[in-house]
Amino acid sequence: MVIPKVVDHWPRVISGLQRIGSAAPKPLLEHILSGMLNHVLDAELRRHKLDFLQQQWVRIEVPDLALVFSVTVIGSEHRARLRASMQPQHASVTMRGNSASLLLMMSGQVDPDTLFFRRKLLIKGDTELGLEVKNLLDTIELEGRLPAPIYRATQQTAALILAKPELR
């Protein structure tokens, strides 16, 4: 099976993703990140649950992937969209976590509070804004938002990461 091999070679997978991310043009990465975030968080955008990010940037750091980007909400109340930027922005809050921890959180296998208290999810800056983002992330279920094969792969990978403490 492919997923156990991915987890068995996690450091090499991360290294490969890091190389791809550093070689890809920043505008392309911004477009991909913005598109993915808008797709996954479409329901929250339509219900105005992300309006608190209007004119505020959240910086996301994934050190093991050498990935740093910022996210904000742009547009009107009728058509709000998330915008990701690879360029330095004046962020109100910074959230930092390694790829394994973020995958565990995205999969719902570990909640953001657990990661936060284990110091696997760091929040600095505007704590209130950071907690709003963290609490929103805690309510999102990816099933039905991601294509079924990607959702299953995410769940399987997260379960295998949980079984290997050295990866967390």
Give 86's pLDDT tier (boundaries 50, 70, 90): very high
DSSP string computed for the chain: -HHHHHHHTHHHHHHHHHHHHHHS-HHHHHHHHHHHHHHHTHHHHHTTTTGGGBT--EEEEEGGGTEEEEEEEES-TTS-EEEEESS----SEEEE--HHHHHHHHHTSS-HHHHHHTTSSEEEE-HHHHHHHHHHHHH---BTTB-HHHHHHHHHHHHHHHH-GGG-
> What percent of the chain stands above pLDDT 70?
92
Is the pLDDT confidence value at 9 over 80?
A: no
Is the pLDDT confidence value at 2 over 70?
A: no
Q: What is the pTM of this model?
A: 0.87
Is the pLDDT confidence value at 76 over 90?
A: no
Structural domains of the chain in order of their starting residue, each with its CATH number = 2-167 (3.30.1050.10)
| Model confidence pLDDT, tens digit, residues 130-147 | 989 988 888 888 888 888
